[in-house]
Structure formats: structure tokens, C-alpha cells
Structure 1
Amino acid sequence: MNNPEVKLKAHDNIQKIMGEQLNLFYLALSFFTRIPIPQNVRYSAELLNKANRYFSLVGLLLASILAVCYWLISQTLPINVSVLVIMALSLLLTGAFHEDGLADMADGIGGAFNVEKRLAIMKDSRIGTYGSVTLILALALKFSLLFFLAEQDVFILICALFLGASLSRALAASLISSLPYVSEQSSSKSKPLAQSQSKQELLIVVIIGALPLILYSWSVALSCLLILLIFRQLFSRWLLAKIGGFTGDCLGAAQQIAELLIYFVLVAFLQT
């Protein structure tokens, strides 16, 4: 048991596993944000596909940055300005990645009557009426909900940021395991993440995403989970009916809608 060679081998194995997981996290971070990563990170389509397990962890990192920035900014600026600043910072950090997906999905599904045309519109970089209206409403709702939470207490807002950023991403990532990927274009930005999702990867992303629920009472936590499960079921059926599965834009839309639903639940409990 005290053999130095055995201990060294075990130590090397642990370091190798940790290095592999850190590499996957960096890939997820580079895919979902504009945050710089080390240049020696190994990339392949297979590794990027496995990186979806850390979708929620990326959310927690983003929430940490936003929480610190809000606390600092709110020391000198009004609440409404502080909330707008962290919303803008969130868009800069992610490159409006998920918001772009929400707008594209709204344009595609709202602007056509057959699957091929809907998918083609989603791939168009231009934004249309459906996308514009949806994006404006989503951002306005997010500001209103976050402003209400911030008015109650800074700690309430910070907890909401962590929960919204992580659990919404867990829900979006979970769709990979239950719906077919429908875009056949090789240039699709989400294709490496959409090939498959093992049960282990799904479990990891859900556990990490649900971690902030420990900050809340059982009634709030249960309500959030119930609302999100209902939304996931209805959203999945709607996507199957409209396009026969999901695209990367749909994952972005799912994240944005889920985040708003989480804030709605938190606000509803504070209102009662």
C-alpha cells in the first residue's frame, strides 16, 4: 500500500483526469463566451461535444463576474443603472450568444410555414421583425425582473444571478439528450455540441446547474424545478412540431426563456 511507484502512478492518473476535465471546461468557456482561454487547450469536435457537461459551470463563472461587478457598481450608481450595466456586461461576455439564438429562432419559426424555410431563416445573420420584437421584450422583461430583485436586497439579486445563469443553461443542455439535431449544415456553430450527450454528461450539467438551489427554501426550489420541467416538456413538443427537433438557436432560446422563468418564480415568491 505504501509503494512509491503505485502512489506516483495514482497521482499521475489524477492529474491526467483533472487536466482532461479542465481542457473540456476551457473548450466550453471558449464556445459560449468571449473570455480568453490558454493557447495550449486541445481542440477536436469530439472534445467539444463532451464539453457540454460544463455548460452550467460556465454560467456560474459568468454569474460570479456579474455579481462582483454589480456589487462594486451599485456602491456609487443607482440600482436601475447598475442592473443595465451588468446586463450589458453579460452581453459582452457571451457575445450575445444566447440572445442571438432566441432572435433567430423567433424569426425562423415565426416567419415561415415549412421546416426547410424555417431552418434557412434561422441561419440568416439578418434579424427580422419577429426576432427584433422577441429580443426587445426578453431584454425588457429581464431588466424589470432583475430590477425588482435588486430593489429588495443585493444578496437576493446575486443569488438570482447564480441560479438563473446555471439552471437555465442546464435545461438548455438537457435538450441535446432528448431531441434530434435537425440542422444538416456543416457550418452550424452548434453541431459539435449536438452529436450526442451521455447520461454522465447530462447528470453533470444538471447537478452543477441545480447547485444554487441550496440557497433557497424547498418551496422556491421545487417551484423552479416544476416550472422548468413543464416548460421543457412543452418546448420540446413545440420544437418537434415546428422543425422536427432542435438547432443551436433553439438551445439559446431555451436558455433565455428558462432564465426569465426562474426570475419570474423568484419575483412571485417575493410578492406573496
Structure 2
Amino acid sequence: MCSTKKRSVFRRELALYFTAQMFYSRLPVPAGMASHDPLLLSEATRYFPLVGALVALLSIGTGWMLYLLTSHAGVAALLALLFSVWLTGAFHEDGLADACDGFGGGWQAQQILEIMKDSRLGTYGAVGLWGGLSLRWVLLWQLLEQGVLLFAGGAMAAFVLSRWAAVCTIKTGIYARRDATGKVKPVAKGLSTTGFYVACVITFMLAVAGMGYMALPAAALVYLTQLWMYRYFKSKIGGYTGDCLGAIQQISECVTLLFFLASLRCL
């Protein structure tokens, strides 16, 4: 009976992981191993950082192979970055662009929310998207020029910590939209304390593997970044939306890469 219970628990956790992979990436999942059930989608958020780690591994491998072929760190870093965007369906970049449009062009809460729902890309969104992609490209380029291992470690930590930042917001924040139109409405229904701890353990293990002891101050900086961003969002619209989570992930990724590169320069 105990063995059967363990298999049941393992299968459920595996289903939660594949549900997270289905929701947060374009990566295929085995048939019947993912669910659209709102409760499972909410709990699957615990594996968001692990999905980020898989995306990081595939992107790092792509960057490394292209660097061997071209001997040009800039080209390799750019194509690795674009590959990671494709792997996630530009899910987070879309959130950053919409958040820039909404908070840049809106004055009242309802107006900001309406602008973020608009599928058209505005000036603020275009500038924010260009800035985020450009900064990540340059930072990854600089890391790759310093060595493949540093590039791999920095990218892994940045991908994982930035997704953990979004998990922190989901766990402690308030979802701003009152209707059912939000694209992350299912995952905003509440992450259990156990699920949050699982996300934290996964995140810190992978971040330490990537950055060593620098992962701890990086995590603190990322946490403060998401806390500041959430408080800003809350002051404007009363909480967060899916686009806000995308913006938090993108900015936190930049913050991690900046911190890692600055730390290397100081050593």
C-alpha cells in the first residue's frame, strides 16, 4: 500500500511538472500527462523555475554549439537568446511589452488594464521589448566572451531566479483582474505553502549550481526587485496581472545577469 501511495504521489508531481511545461513553454509533453484543470495549473507553478532550467539548458547548448561554429560570441548569444524566446512562445516578452504599454500610456487602473489586454503593440511596449532583448543579448554576449562555463552558469541562474521571482509574486500578491479574461487567471488561484517551498528548493539548488555563492545575494536582489515592482503595480491597479508577471520575469532576468557580470568584474 505504501509503495502504491508513493507511485501515486510521484505520478501527480510528474503531471504537475508537465502541466507547467505545457503552460510556460512550447516544449512537447507526453500524452495524458498534462492538465488544464485550474487547481492543477495553480499548483504546477511550483515547477515554473524547473521549466526555466530546461529552457536554459537548451539555449545554453545552442549558444555553445554556435560559438564553436562561428567563433563569434555576439552571434552565438543572440541566436541562443532568440531560441529561448521561441521555446517559451515569447510568453514573458509579450507580458513585458503589454505592461510597458499599459503603465506607460494609462492613467487610471481600468485604463491600464484595458491597454494591457489590447493585442496591438504601442510605442512604450516596442521600446520596452527592444530594451529588454538588447540588454539580455549584450549581457549574455559579455558572459560568453569570458567563458562558456560562465555563460552557462549565468544563464541558468538568471532563467531560474527570474521565474522564481514571478512565483513569489503569485504566492504573496493579489490578482488584479476581476473577470475571467486574464491569461494567467488559473495559476493565480493560489499556490500552496508546500508548493512554494518546492519552488524555492529547486530554484536555490539550480542557482547555486550556476553561480556558486553569488547566487544568494543575487536571489536577495531579485526578491527585492519583484517586491518593488509588485508594490508599484499594486499602487496603480490593485495587484498583478499575467503581463505584470512577464515584466517581473524579464526585469529579474536582466538584474541577475547584470549582478553576475558586475560580480565577475569585481573579482
Q: How does the TM-score come out when normalised to structure 2?
A: 0.95
Matched, 1:127 2:127: no
Taking the aligned partners of 2:34 and 2:25, their CA distance within structure 1 comes to 17
Cα pair 1:24 1:54 within 8 Å, conserved? yes
Moved more, 34-43 or 252-261: 34-43
Uncovered stretches (5+) of structure 2, i.e. residues with no partner = none
* 1:248-271 deviations in Å (ceiling 9; x for gaps): 111111000000000000110122
8 Å contact kept, 1:171–1:206 = no
1:68 equivalent to 2:52? Answer no
Shift of 1:185: 2.9
**For 2:134 and 2:224, how far apart are their aligned partners in 1?**
24
Map 1:106-255; keep pairs closer than 5 Å. 106-215=100-209, 216-218=211-213, 220-255=214-249
What's the CA shift for 1:32?
Answer: 0.6
Moved runs in structure 1, 4+ residues, more than 4 A?
A: none
**Paired residue for 1:6?**
none
Deviates more, 1:12-21 or 1:254-263: 12-21
Match of 1:59 among 52, 74, 78: 52
Read off the aligned partner of 1:250 and give its amino acid letter: C
Structure 1 stretches of 5 or more lacking a match? 1-8
The structure having more radius of gyration, on CA atoms, is: 1
Paired positions, count: 263
Q: For the Cα contact (< 8 Å) 1:170–1:209, is it kept in 2?
A: yes
How far did 1:42 drift?
A: 4.7
Q: 1:46 deviation in Å?
A: 1.1
Shift of 1:14: 1.4
Task: State the 1:67 CA deviation.
Answer: 1.7
Q: Is residue 11 of structure 2 the alignment partner of residue 16 of structure 1?
A: no
RMSD of aligned alpha carbons: 1.2
- 1:167–1:206 CA contact under 8 A, matched in 2: no
TM-score in terms of structure 1 length: 0.93
1:89 aligned partner, one-letter code:
F
For residues 216 and 26 of structure 2, what CA distance do their matches in structure 1 show?
33
- Aligned partner of 2:248: which letter? A
Distance 1:232 1:189 in 2: 20
Cα distance in 2 for partners of 1:265, 1:222 equals 11
Amino acid at match of 2:62: C
Q: 1:261 aligns with which of 240, 255, 262?
A: 255
Contact 1:164/1:263, CA 8 A, preserved across alignment: yes
Deviations 1:209-242, CA, capped at 9 Å, x for gaps: 1223323343x22321231232122112111111
